[in-house]
Amino acid sequence: MNYIIIIISAIFVNNIVLAKFLGVCPFIGVSNRVETAIGMTGAVTFVMVIATIVTYLLQHYILIPFGISFMQTITFILVIAALVQMVEIMLKKLSPILYQALGIFLPLITTNCAVLGVAILAVQNDYNLIESVVFSIANAIGFGMALLLFSGIRVQLELVDVPEPMKGVPIAFLVAGLLAMAFMGFAGIV
């Protein structure tokens, strides 16, 4: 039962982008094209889940037992940076097209607040390993969902007559705000 609550909470009620404000940078940058959005989501999911697992083990078997919890920030981000390097190398070999399409955004997954944020949150919420995995997958789905919804809307936005100062990022933020408002409607579920 607990897992259902974690999943629904992460995807809808406390959506990582629209409610927790993590992962906003790629949200604004990548969401122009649906295909890139899907590719980005896949890469982020992979990194997020593995990062959460590794950082969980790191926290519980090394940082806490040795009393060096203050090294959390450094070690967590290094784990994520290493993982992103690995994904880059893998992607170059397995799907050069996707590698090209994602371009600069692939190394930028390292600085994606969502990945580090989810890793830290899983530890802060005191989840065990399985709960952490469920949590990270759910958050990745939530991220992807927000990204896909948004890219669909942005494609339409480009066809519409927007006042000059509002063009591009400002109007995108207003739409994101409306999307966030819509998601607040999920509040009563859990």
- Phi (first) and psi of residue 91, to 5 degrees: -65, -40
**Residue 73 interacts with other proteins (CB under 8 A): yes or no:** yes
Token pair for residue 44? 């982020």
Each residue 15-34 as x (binds other proteins by CB under 8 A) or -, in order, gives ---xxxxxxxx--xx-----
> What whole-number distance in Å separates Cα of residue 155 and Cα of residue 36?
13
Least distance to other proteins, CB of residue 154, Å: 14
**Taking CB under 8 A as the rule, does residue 174 contact other proteins?**
yes
Binder among 38, 101, 120, 141 for other proteins (CB under 8 A): 120
Q: Which of 1, 43, 67, 58 is closest to 143 using CA atoms?
A: 43
| Residue nearer to other proteins on the CB measure, 66 or 97 | 66
Task: Summarize the chain as % helix, strand, coil (round to 5).
Answer: 80, 0, 20
Min separation Cβ 97 and other proteins, Å? 25
How many angstroms separate the CA atoms of 47 and 79, rounded? 10
Q: How far apart are CA 50 and CA 62, in angstroms?
A: 17
Piece in contact with other proteins (CB under 8 A), picked from 34-42, 52-60, 70-78, 141-149: 70-78
- 44 sits near other proteins (criterion: CB under 8 A): no
Work out how close the CB of 114 gets to other proteins at its nearest, in angstroms, rounded to a whole number.
8
Angle at 102 between CA 52 and CA 46, to 5 degrees: 20
Tell me which residues touch other proteins (CB under 8 A).
14, 18-25, 28-29, 70-74, 76-78, 81, 107-108, 110-113, 116-117, 120-121, 124-125, 165-166, 169-174, 176-178, 180-181, 183-184, 187, 190
